[in-house]
């Protein structure tokens, strides 16, 4: 079997979050603004939006993402709070692992196609990928194929589909 492509997952393989915003921090922030939102409910809503809503609707910004989380929590949050809340995520440090650029360069040198495949929305990480984007042939997220695990769809395009 000839190797034709290198597919990388995003989170934990290609990139990571430095100083991630915790559910407790956000819960405390929202509670201080008068909204009764607790970490467990926030985490559940975040996951629902990630795996159910995003593949269907494809949100393009932190503000639309957070509004959908509020919708799932059945909490009406004012626009100023949404704006301030979104800044927590915009200010997070998304970092590439140090060996990713070299791995992609080697793959390209070998003539392989390269892809980053993730369930994470593109708007959350495009800035972090700028240093390597010229080495990536395909960037696929959950909205691309309207399914929660985009890599499953890519496998269907292989000459002999299999599920890994």
Taking only the tens place, the pLDDT of each residue in 5-39 is 998 999 999 999 988 999 999 999 999 999 999 99
Give the Cβ contact number of residue 156 at 10 Å. 10
Is the separation of the CB atoms in 62 and 86 below 8 Å?
Answer: yes
Give the Cβ contact number of residue 70 at 10 Å. 21
Structure confidence at residue 163 as a pLDDT band (50, 70, 90) = very low
* Phi, psi dihedral angles at 75 (to 5 degrees): -125, 125
Distance CA 43, CA 114 (A): 32
Structure confidence at residue 154 as a pLDDT band (50, 70, 90) = low
pLDDT of 156 strictly over 60 = no
pLDDT at 3: 84
Q: What is the mean pLDDT of the chain?
A: 89
Structure confidence at residue 150 as a pLDDT band (50, 70, 90) = low
pLDDT of 60 strictly over 50 = yes
SS (H, E, C) the chain: CCCCEEEEECECCCEEEECCCCHHHHHHHHHHCCCCCCHHHHHHHHHHHHHHHHHHHCCCCHHHHHHHHHHHHCCCCCHHHHHHHHHHHHCCEEEECCCHHHHHHHHHHCCCEEEEECCCCHHHCHHHHCCCHHHCCEEECCCCCCCCCHHHHHHHCCCCCCCC
pTM: 0.84
Which residues, listed in sequence order, are joined to residue 139 by a DSSP beta bridge? 116
Structure confidence at residue 152 as a pLDDT band (50, 70, 90) = low
């Amino acid at each position: 079997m000839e190797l034709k492509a290198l597919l990388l997952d995003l989170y934990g393989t290609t990139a990571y979050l430095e100083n991630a915003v915790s559910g407790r921090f956000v819960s405390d922030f929202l509670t201080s603004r008068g909204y009764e939102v607790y970490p467990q409910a926030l985490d559940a809503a975040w996951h629902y939006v990630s795996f159910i809503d995003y593949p269907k609707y494809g949100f393009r910004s932190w503000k639309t993402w957070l509004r959908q989380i509020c919708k799932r929590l059945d909490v009406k949050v004012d626009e100023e709070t949404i704006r301030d809340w979104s800044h927590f995520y915009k200010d997070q440090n998304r970092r590439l692992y140090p060996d990713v650029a070299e791995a992609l360069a080697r793959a390209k040198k070998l003539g392989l196609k390269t892809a980053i495949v993730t369930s994470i929305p593109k708007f959350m990480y495009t800035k972090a990928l700028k240093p390597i984007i010229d080495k990536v042939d395909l960037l696929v997220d959950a909205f691309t194929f309207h399914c929660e695990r985009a890599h499953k769809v890519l496998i269907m395009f292989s000459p002999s589909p299999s599920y890994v």
